Structure 1
Amino acid sequence: MKVRIGLFLGAALLLFAACKQEADKPKVIYKEDGTSAAATETVSDKDRSEDIRIADLPVLMGQSDYLIHPIGEVRVYTYSSKTGMSKVNQTSYTVSNYAPFELTGYLENLMFQHKDSLQIRPLTNKKIQIQSVTYLNPLAEKTKKNILVYSVFDADTNRDGKLDSNDIKTLYISNGSGKNFKKLTVDLHELLDWTVIDAQNRLYFRSIEDINKNGAFDKDDNVNYYYIDLLSKDWEVKSYDPFSVNKPIEIEE
């Protein structure tokens, strides 16, 4: 009995140590000279022998005139039958989930197609992983302007050869057609969250900066605050300080 308990405790400790090591893995690994070159690390083409690149059926969000085809990969598992023949087992050929005005998943690209055209174009030619894309429906209803906001992993910041949630998450924006795809967050700044204030036609977001260069985001780092005017042509990112105290402005009611 003591032997069994000892083996169980040993296995539990090993599992805990493995999980802790994974959790403590830094999101950024800097080069020896301490530069931020990690932000430009790209991922090479991987062996797709066990993956199939597919597209989900298209979706049409809100008042947009453009269909969106989500592109991703599914893992195919093969095994040998009793007769020696190889069989394929795949439980799902779906790479995305769609809720009203939002696509989620781990997508490598999106293809855009005007509803009256047969031509299809990609969102980007870069290697990225898209975690979510949100259609700003209240803005479209009010201003007739179609805008998409993306949560994206765009660089192998931990230099493990993969683009995934262990890398830094960034914020992007584009027109409803997928054109003018623009990064809003600063390189090596981790996106915390974002929101839209419809009364101002502004998108606000926060990011955290690894100012002590330890590769992790913690209490010693700096949180930055930004906003953009969604109706502006170039979506210029402006910083602000919510803690600054100015002379109160009297507002007539």
Structure 2
Amino acid sequence: MKINFNHLFLALMLVFFSCKEEVDQPKVIYEEATKEAITKKDTTQIRVADLPVFMDGTSYIIHPVGELRVYDVKSKASYGSSSTSRVSYAVSNYNRYEITGYLDNLYFQHIDSASTKPLTDKQMIIQSATYLTTFAEKSKKQIMVYTVADMDTNRDSKLDQNDIKALFLSLSSGENFTKLTPDYQELIDWNVLEVKNRLYFRTIQDSNKNGDFDKDDAVFYFFVDLLDKEWKVNEYKPFN
């Protein structure tokens, strides 16, 4: 079979530049920026809930809620541009003590109750929800940690993985849902040190305001005492 290398090269270049454009998309746009996320709700999307999950050791089951996803799939029996649609009813993944996905909300239900309560009444995308099981076993305090996109920082009128990722906490009941990261600072990572009953996390701020996070931007370090009734964020400096 003869290969047209000119066509192959052109196709590869198109893929390269399309990927580059996606990577170069800024996470922050400052023009007329507002604190609240300004998004247009897609009324054509259908919300569905996954089957509930139970975090062992708690008294609550959790219903992950997200949008029904429809994919265009090329049909092997067809020619040209024909395709068929495939519907995915799965909106999350569950791995022991963590739920991941791009979720609109989580609904909490006490094991002795028939009613459910939403985690939040605000528009956001929940990317992960983690139950601190080892900390709970030692401290007897049950806490969930969330990574969330809660602000339309790139001002494209939608919330997704291209917006800044923030860090939240709540009790295992979903109550006391609290944001920890400062606005317009991107979460880098977090961990829990049970020996000090603290959650530590790092963020990065777009110091040069070029719309992206890079080596020239400032990194900040924080911790929260998980045993406190109110989770106060404390900044610290690990080095001078």
Tell me by how many angstroms 1:143 deviates.
Answer: 1.7
Q: Report the counterpart of residue 10 of structure 2 in structure 1.
A: 10
Question: Secondary structure, in 3 states, of the residue corresponding to 1:225?
Answer: strand
Q: Report the counterpart of residue 65 of structure 2 in structure 1.
A: 71
Tell me by how many angstroms 1:21 deviates.
Answer: 1.1
Tell me by how many angstroms 1:3 deviates.
Answer: 9.9
C-alpha separation in 2, matches of 1:76 and 1:129: 19
C-alpha separation in 2, matches of 1:39 and 1:8: 46
Q: Report the counterpart of residue 79 of structure 2 in structure 1.
A: none
Matched, 1:179 2:186: no
Query: Of the two, which has the highest radius of gyration?
Result: 1
Tell me by how many angstroms 1:8 deviates.
Answer: 2.1
Q: Which amino acid aligns with 1:9?
A: F
Q: Report the counterpart of residue 137 of structure 1 in structure 2.
A: 133
Tell me by how many angstroms 1:38 deviates.
Answer: 4.5
Q: Report the counterpart of residue 25 of structure 2 in structure 1.
A: 25
C-alpha separation in 2, matches of 1:41 and 1:64: 32
Contact kept in structure 1, 2:37 and 2:150, CA below 8 Å: no
Matched, 1:62 2:45: no
Contact kept in structure 1, 2:131 and 2:143, CA below 8 Å: yes
Provide, for residues 139-192 of structure 1, a one-character-per-residue CA deviation record: whole Å limited to 9, x for no partner.
Answer: 111121110000001111111122111110000000111011010000000000
- What value does the CA root-mean-square deviation take over the aligned residues? 2.0
Q: Which amino acid aligns with 2:147?
A: S
Closer, same or farther: CA 3–98 of 1 in aligned 2, 3 Å? closer
Which residue, out of 200, 211, 218, partners 2:214?
Answer: 218
Which residue, out of 203, 206, 209, partners 1:207?
Answer: 203
Which residue, out of 238, 242, 245, partners 2:238?
Answer: 242
Closer, same or farther: CA 211–189 of 1 in aligned 2, 3 Å? same
Tell me by how many angstroms 1:110 deviates.
Answer: 0.3
Contact kept in structure 2, 1:64 and 1:146, CA below 8 Å: yes
Q: Which amino acid aligns with 1:210?
A: D
C-alpha separation in 1, matches of 2:100 and 2:71: 24
Contact kept in structure 2, 1:38 and 1:156, CA below 8 Å: no
Provide, for residues 117-141 of structure 1, a one-character-per-residue CA deviation record: whole Å limited to 9, x for no partner.
Answer: 1121100011100110000001111
Residues 112-131 of structure 1 correspond to what in structure 2 (within 5 A)? 112-131=108-127
C-alpha separation in 2, matches of 1:90 and 1:173: 35
Question: Secondary structure, in 3 states, of the residue corresponding to 1:19?
Answer: helix
Question: Secondary structure, in 3 states, of the residue corresponding to 1:13?
Answer: helix
C-alpha separation in 2, matches of 1:159 and 1:221: 21
Contact kept in structure 2, 1:28 and 1:38, CA below 8 Å: no
Aligned residues: 230
Which residue, out of 138, 160, 176, partners 2:156?
Answer: 160
Closer, same or farther: CA 39–23 of 1 in aligned 2, 3 Å? farther
Contact kept in structure 1, 2:71 and 2:87, CA below 8 Å: no
Q: Which amino acid aligns with 1:6?
A: N
Tell me by how many angstroms 1:44 deviates.
Answer: 2.1
Contact kept in structure 1, 2:69 and 2:87, CA below 8 Å: no
C-alpha separation in 2, matches of 1:13 and 1:89: 29
Q: Which amino acid aligns with 2:190?
A: W
Q: Which amino acid aligns with 2:230?
A: D
Question: Secondary structure, in 3 states, of the residue corresponding to 1:76?
Answer: strand
Could you tell me the percent identity over the aligned residues? 55
Contact kept in structure 2, 1:71 and 1:108, CA below 8 Å: yes
Which residue, out of 214, 221, 227, partners 1:231?
Answer: 227
Structure 2: gaps of 5 or more residues? 74-83
Tell me by how many angstroms 1:77 deviates.
Answer: 5.5
